[in-house]
Structures are given as structure tokens and as C-alpha cells.
């Protein structure tokens, strides 16, 4: 039976990808583990591997095609012993949004990335596959598998949230995701049809039409989505600007951080940290670094390296804060994972230092230098920038004294670090000049209450001001 090759979801946030290059051509033999194609995501270009053997019978999406939705059919593989021409002719039509053969099925909206379950592998990935089977006797043509078994409803977290907000009965929704799972577009379709909702109350007389169109509602939750493109452009003269199309990274940043501000209830805690002891220790440690034959030191510690280490240790000293929100539960971690914002042209990456609580300052420093270089070249692997419990965003090098940062989902906090500067403070009843750095922790109130967040910030401040504690 033919094997449908689908556009894979190479990251949890991926909704579309660019098919950059086919590394196999029609008629080529395919073995498990062979690299089939290169896919460009919003973050990087990745190779995807085959998981079945056979012959590449037909390529449906040519290389160079942009914005191919996740789960779209992109190629057909003839299984071993199968006639290649028959497989090419008998595969599912390109219009099938999830790649499965659907006789007489009507086109459906595209699947959301959160529902794509494509056997992705960190650092590369496997293509999404579906074998094309004849419909069982008595099955409805084109019908997707039922999303519930024995009363249990299988649905993505996003689909459940939308259903709750819109009053949609999931038990009456037919899923179109992998294995019949209900995904966001299924709930939205059910809402649009009104088939699974209680009858609406009689409406009052039609209100007068507004002179200006109201902002359109967002697809998920009905929250205002802001002004339309035409509405924004209408405020300005046509020759006053140039239009810059959004690339995949900027679209993802805009979407994810907008969702973060709408979904995660932020609150902020600010502390001033004295740096004098840290700066002296940093100078001593950098001076003691071994040098190679060319005189290059084995490491050169930055203030940010101390900040990363301090956040890692603070999380383990306040275990309840070393956690993230997971809809119906909290995930609490055994080790600290600290992301670090790295600015690049058009956006940013947030590579994650794993087990930051256990690593030495020199290891963190060298790891961050490698991450930063590969981030700017867009060579990071997905497992290097996904996950994490908290992040550090440092704008001190730009002279910024104080700012607040937006939490990067699914993390539960982010530390905004300002510039170190000389300030006059009172010590032992007398004025004294010390170097001070202002830091603000943004907290997700679903995970961290005020007292817990304050405990975490206090632990961080204590480590920064007594940095020898990071060496033992």
C-alpha cells in the first residue's frame, strides 16, 4: 500500500515550513534513515529522514515551495514490492490536509501545529507518514477516526481550551488530527456550524453599523486581534513608509509572545544587586585561566555567566519555583534549565543551558559563546532552544537600567537584567559608592505566587552579592 509523506512538525510551534530541497528524486530507492529533504522552519534548516523503505513514487510539493502547512501531503512512497506507477496514481490527493486518503472528502481547514504528532527527532526529524488503506466495510467515506473511545475524548490542550471558551461539546466533535484526535480547527469548525452549541438567545434589534469596522476577533478565544492591515495603513500617507514582509521567525515571536501576555498572568519583582564582590571574583578567576600556546585563555567569564549560574542555583534552592504550567498540572523539575536570550537580525533565539545548577562558570561561559555564534548563523538544533524553566534577558550592554520582559512559554519566569552602574547607597549610616545592577523577574502567577517569586529573587540576589557560593 502507498505510504503518504506529510510535512512534519519539527518543533512544537511549527505551523508551516518551506520545502527547501529534495535530496531524493522520483524513482529513487528509500531506506529507513535516508535523508529525504531539507525543511526550513522559522528557526533553522533541518534534514528530515525516512522511516519506511520503498521507492519515492511521486513528489507532490516541489523544492522551493514556501509556507507548506504541517500535515500536508508532500510525497508518496511505494512500499517494497509495490508497483511504483500504481502507488503514484493511487496516493491521497494533495488537497487532503492531513495526508490521508479521503474518498469524496471535502477540503478541510489546515491542522494546527499543536496537534501534529509526527515522530519528530531532535536535531533533525522524521517525515510524517500515513499508510493509505481502503475504508473498512460500513465506514463512512471520507470520515476521520472518532476522537473518543469508551467515553474518553482525545483532544489537544488548545482544542480543549477553545471548546471551553466557546461552549462546544467535544463529545460531539469529529477529530481530523492524527489518530482521530480533536484539534483546534475541528472545534472552530464545530463552533461555526453551531451544531454542538446550545441555541443562542434571541438577539435584540440590529445595532446601527459603526462607521469604522471593529477589530476582528482572534480565531482562538474571540479576543480582539487588533487593527487590520488596511486600517493601520489608513492612518498614514502611502509614501511615508515601506512594507516589510514578516518572515517565519518574526511571525512566531509575535504570535507566541502575544499569547504569553494574554494567557500567562504576569507580575513583576525588582531587586538591586550589588556587584562589587562579583566583579572582584570575576577579575581573579579570569586572571587565573590557563592559556594555550597562542596565549588564548581557556575561558573569559562575563557578568551574564554569573547571572545564569545564580539563576540555576536559585531555582534548585527554591524547588517550588523550578516548575512550569501544563494546563491541568504543574511540572516540577529536578535540575535547573536556564534559557538565555540571544539577539539576531530579525528576532532572537533563547538557547537553554541544561543543568545550569551543576555546571561550572567556565563551562557555562564556553557553552554560551558556542550557542551565541551558532544562533547568529541559525545553526542551533531544536533541542538546544526548546524547553527551559526560566530565561535571562540582559540589556545592560545597551545601557538599559531597568526593564520588564515577557515570559517565553512554556517557561514560568524570565529575568530582565539591567546595566551595572555606580550608585550612592547608605552603608553603616554613611554614604558609600557601590556598583549596582537592577534585575526584574517576570513571574507566571499560575505557578509562582508573590511570596514564592520573592523567595526566588532573594535567593538570586544572595548569590550575586556573595558569589563565592557559586564555586562550592
- What tens digit of pLDDT does each residue of 18-42 get? 898 999 999 899 888 888 998 888 7
Q: Can you spell out the DSSP letters for 329-383? A: SEEE-SS--EEE-EEETTEEE--EETTTTTS-HHHHHHHHHHHHHHHHTT---HH
- What tens digit of pLDDT does each residue of 380-399 get? 888 899 999 999 999 999 99
- What tens digit of pLDDT does each residue of 150-196 get? 456 777 767 777 788 788 888 888 887 756 778 878 887 888 777 55
Mean pLDDT to the nearest integer, 304-321:
98
Q: State the pLDDT confidence band at 197, using cuts at 50, 70 and 90.
A: low
Lowest mean pLDDT across 115-124, 299-308, 400-409:
115-124
Q: State the pLDDT confidence band at 246, using cuts at 50, 70 and 90.
A: confident
105 pLDDT above the threshold of 90: no
Q: Where in the chain is the domain with CATH 3.30.559.10?
A: 252-470
3-state helix, strand, coil in the chain (%, to 5): 30, 25, 45
Q: Where in the chain is the domain with CATH 2.40.50.100?
A: 3-78
**Nearest Cα to 67, choosing from 110, 102, 105?**
110
CATH of 3-78, one of 3.10.310.40, 2.40.50.100, 2.70.160.11, 3.10.180.10: 2.40.50.100
Mean pLDDT to the nearest integer, 314-341:
96
SS (H, E, C) 373-436: HHHHCCCCCHHHHCCCCEEEEECHHHCCCCCCCCCCCCCCEEEEEEEEEEEEEEECCEEEEEEE
CA–CA dist 300, 425 (Å, integer): 30
Lowest mean pLDDT across 40-44, 121-125, 257-261:
121-125
Quick one: pLDDT at residue 281? Answer: 97
Mean pLDDT taken over the chain: 81
- Fold classification of 252-470 is Chloramphenicol Acetyltransferase (3.30.559)
If phi > 0 it is left, if psi is from -120 to 50 it is alpha, else beta; for residue 172 that is: alpha
CA–CA dist 429, 434 (Å, integer): 15
* Residues classed as catalytic: 445
Quick one: pLDDT at residue 111? Answer: 39
Judge contact between 74 and 59, C-beta under 8 A: yes
- What tens digit of pLDDT does each residue of 265-305 get? 999 999 999 999 999 999 999 999 999 988 899 999 999 99
Judge contact between 113 and 15, C-beta under 8 A: yes
Q: Which residues contact 396 (CB under 8 A, 6 or more apart)?
A: 303, 417, 418, 419, 420, 437
CA–CA dist 407, 394 (Å, integer): 14
CA–CA dist 113, 124 (Å, integer): 17
Quick one: pLDDT at residue 127? Answer: 58
Q: State the pLDDT confidence band at 91, using cuts at 50, 70 and 90.
A: low
Question: Chain-centre distance of CA 86, in angstroms?
Answer: 40
Lowest mean pLDDT across 115-124, 231-240, 423-432:
115-124
Quick one: pLDDT at residue 61? Answer: 92
Question: Regarding predicted confidence, which is higher, 232 or 224?
Answer: 232
Amino acid at each position: 500500500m502507498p505510504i503518504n509523506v506529510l510535512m512534519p512538525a519539527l518543533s512544537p510551534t511549527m505551523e508551516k515550513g518551506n520545502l527547501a530541497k529534495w535530496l531524493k528524486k522520483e524513482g529513487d530507492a528509500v531506506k529507513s534513515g535516508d535523508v529525504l529533504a531539507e525543511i526550513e522552519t522559522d528557526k533553522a534548516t533541518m534534514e528530515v529522514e525516512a522511516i519506511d523503505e520503498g521507492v519515492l513514487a511521486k513528489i507532490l510539493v516541489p523544492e522551493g515551495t514556501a509556507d507548506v502547512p504541517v500535515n500536508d501531503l508532500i510525497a508518496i512512497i511505494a512500499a517494497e514490492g509495490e508497483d511504483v506507477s500504481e502507488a503514484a496514481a493511487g496516493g491521497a490527493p494533495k488537497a487532503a490536509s492531513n495526508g490521508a486518503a479521503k474518498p469524496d472528502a471535502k477540503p478541510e481547514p489546515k491542522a494546527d501545529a499543536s496537534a501534529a504528532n509526527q515522530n519528530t527527532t531532535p536535531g533533525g526529524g522524521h517525515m510524517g507518514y500515513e499508510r493509505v488503506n481502503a475504508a473498512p466495510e460500513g465506514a463512512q467515506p471520507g470520515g476521520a477516526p472518532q476522537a473518543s473511545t469508551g467515553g474518553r475524548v482525545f483532544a489537544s490542550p488548545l482544542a480543549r481550551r477553545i471548546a471551553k471558551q466557546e461552549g462546544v461539546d467535544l463529545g460531539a466533535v469529529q477529530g481530523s488530527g492524527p489518530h482521530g484526535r480533536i484539534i483546534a480547527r475541528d472545534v472552530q469548525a464545530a463552533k461555526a456550524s453551531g451544531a454542538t452549541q446550545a441555541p443562542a438567545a434571541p438577539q435584540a434589534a440590529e445595532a446601527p453599523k459603526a462607521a469604522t469596522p471593529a477589530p476582528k476577533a482572534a480565531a482562538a478565544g474571540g479576543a480582539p486581534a487588533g487593527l487590520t492591515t488596511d486600517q493601520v495603513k489608513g492612518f498614514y500617507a502611502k509614501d511615508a513608509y515601506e512594507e516589510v514582509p514578516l518572515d517565519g521567525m518574526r511571525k512566531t515571536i509575535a504570535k507566541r509572545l502575544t499569547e504569553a501576555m494574554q494567557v500567562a498572568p504576569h507580575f513583576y519583582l525588582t531587586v538591586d544587586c550589588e556587584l562589587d564582590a562579583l566583579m572582584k571574583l570575576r577579575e581573579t578567576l579570569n586572571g587565573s585561566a590557563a592559556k594555550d600556546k597562542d596565549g588564548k585563555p581557556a575561558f573569559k567569564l562575563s557578568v551574564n555567566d554569573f547571572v545564569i549560574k545564580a539563576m540555576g542555583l536559585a531555582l534548585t534552592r527554591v524547588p517550588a519555583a523550578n516548575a512550569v504550567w501544563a494546563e491541568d498540572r504543574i511540572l516540577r523539575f529536578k535540575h535547573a534549565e536556564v534559557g538565555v536570550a540571544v539577539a539576531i537580525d530579525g528576532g532572537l533565539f533563547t538557547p537553554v543551558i541544561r543543568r545550569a545548577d551543576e555546571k561550572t562558570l567556565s563551562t557555562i561561559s564556553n557553552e554560551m559563546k558556542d550557542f551565541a555564534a551558532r544562533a547568529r548563523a541559525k545553526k542551533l538544533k531544536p533541542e538546544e532552544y526548546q524547553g527551559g524553566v526560566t530565561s535571562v534577558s540582559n540589556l545592560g550592554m545597551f545601557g538599559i537600567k531597568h526593564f520588564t520582559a515577557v515570559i517565553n512559554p512554556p517557561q514560568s519566569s524570565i529575568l530582565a537584567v539591567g546595566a551595572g552602574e555606580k550608585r550612592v547607597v547608605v552603608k553603616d549610616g554613611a554614604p558609600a559608592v557601590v556598583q549596582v545592577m537592577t534585575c526584574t523577574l517576570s513571574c507566571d502567577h499560575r505557578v509562582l505566587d508573590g511570596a514564592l517569586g520573592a523567595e526566588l529573587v532573594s535567593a538570586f540576589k544572595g548569590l550575586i552579592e556573595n558569589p563565592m557560593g557559586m564555586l562550592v
